[in-house]
Every structure is written in C-alpha cells, then in structure tokens.
Amino acid sequence: MFGVLWAACNAIVGVAAMRAHTIERRVGMMTTITILSVGVVLGLFALGLWQSVFLLPVVVVFYITRGTTNPIFTSAINERVTSDRRATVLSVRQLGVRAIFVVVGPVVGMIGDVRGLASALLVTSAIFALALTIALSRWRAASNAIES
C-alpha cells in the first residue's frame, strides 16, 4: 500500500502544480504563499498531535501545497530577476532548499528515533513556523520596497 499511496500523493503534486497559476491569479501571489505556508505548519502540527487515518485530508493538503509552491516561487523569481541572473537565482534557490533539508532532516530524524514520529512532526512544524515567519516578513518588506 505504501507504493500506491506514494504514487497517489505524487499525482496530487502534479495536478496541483498544473493548477497553481489559476489559484495564484484568483487570490494573488502573497495571499497564496501565506495560505500555503500556514497550511503546511498547521498540517504538520495536526499530524504531530493526532495520528489517525482521518487526517488523510491533511496529508492531501500538504501535497497540494508541495505541488503549488514550486511553480509560484519560480514564477515570482522569473518576474523579478533579470534574464542575465535568473538561472543563478533559480539554482541558488534550489540549492538553499536542499541545504536546509541537509541540516534539518537529520535533526528531525534523530528526534523521531528518540522521541517518536509525533514529536518529530511537532518540531518540524515549529521550525517551519519560525522560518516561514521570517521569510514572509522579509518578502513582504522587499515587495513593499519595490512598490514604493
């Protein structure tokens, strides 16, 4: 069943990625990013508190978020960065995502080994909440500076 669930989750990612720009056009980029960010934090928090098959919709929302964020962030970079630097910025963004995982992944894995999956999910939720608060506030400040 794991393989079937994994394939279904990745299909959700693909469909969400195809529909990302429709969502963004309807509610705006910053609203979409904020909603998706809060959704990830709340989803991880809920999964850390309660382990139940009834939280499967939370997992689905998490994978929708995963599929939606990449096209939106890539589009935002493409709109804001000149063509002579765009490839570098996109590459550095991807490197940053992987570097964060290299640091956070083993720590969360150790917490999971020592304290259990629920604790690992709660710690991940807290890390994401802190990181997203910082990132969103910086992004809003940068967007306001550009608009001024």
Q: What are 49-67's pLDDT values in tens digits? A: 988 888 888 888 888 988 9
Judge whether residue 128 has pLDDT over 80: yes
Q: What pLDDT is recorded for position 147? A: 66
Q: What are 67-78's pLDDT values in tens digits? A: 998 898 888 888
CB 47 within 8 A of CB 121: yes
Judge whether residue 12 has pLDDT over 70: yes
Domain boundaries, the chain: 2-147
Provide, rounded to the nearest whole percent, the portion of the chain with pLDDT above 90.
41
Give me the numbers of helices (H) and strands (E) for the chain, helices first please.
Answer: 5, 0
Q: Which of the two residues, 141 and 112, has the higher pLDDT score?
A: 112
- The angle, 0 to 180 degrees and rounded to 10, between the axes of the packed helices 29-49 and 2-27 is 150
Band of the pLDDT at 109, cuts 50, 70, 90? Answer: very high
How far is the CA of 143 from the CAs of 29, 46, 84, 139, 148, in angstroms? 11, 31, 21, 6, 9
Band of the pLDDT at 112, cuts 50, 70, 90? Answer: very high
The model's pTM? 0.75
